[in-house]
Amino acid sequence: MLGGEAGVVRLVDAFYRHMDTRPDARGIRAMHEPDLASTRTVLVLYLCEWLGGPKQYTAQRGHPRLRMRHAGFAIGPAERDAWLACMGAALADVNAPPALQAELMAAFFKTADWMRNTAAA
């Protein structure tokens, strides 16, 4: 429904474009490397797998263990919400059908909320 792998690539490009430019994402942008190229590639692999596509993420990087992989970054409600704001804007940019946007945002909220490892805002 997102347009296959090309659609996921468009979504992830839009996501990091927002992370790069939104004032409310400055904090989470600073957690990432200056060059987002490799992170972008990994998120494409992850989302393709998570959305039911080929299991390339697991093949290349093993079990996602996302909470553990995020343990080194202080993630509280503000960081969660900034991540979700970038993804919400990206889904709108790629013109995902509204029902799909709502369904994906509900799922992303659960994952992002589960990643919280600090109460600090």
Q: Which residues bind ligand HEM (CB under 6 A)?
A: 28, 31-33, 39, 42-43, 46, 61, 66, 69-70, 73, 75, 79-80, 83, 108, 111-112, 115
Least distance (Å) between residue 6 CB and ligand HEM: 19
CB of 120 to ligand HEM, least distance (A): 13
Determine the Cα–Cα distance for residues 56 and 46; give it in Å rounded to an integer. Answer: 8
Does residue 65 sit in helix, strand or coil? coil
Nearer to ligand HEM, 42 or 89 (CB): 42
Q: Are 41 and 96 in contact (CB under 8 A)?
A: no
* 67-71, Cβ contacts within 8 angstroms, sequence gap of 24 or more: 67/114, 67/115, 67/117, 70/115, 70/117, 71/117
State whether residue 115 is helix, strand or coil.
coil
Which residue, 6 or 62, has its beta carbon nearer to ligand HEM?
62
Q: Which is nearer to ligand HEM, 17 or 32 (CB)?
A: 32
Tokens of 115: 């990643």
Give min distance, CB of 40 to ligand HEM, in A.
9
Contact yes or no for 75/118 (Cβ under 8 A): yes
Closest distance of CB 110 from ligand HEM, Å: 9
Which CB, 17 or 61, lies closer to ligand HEM?
61
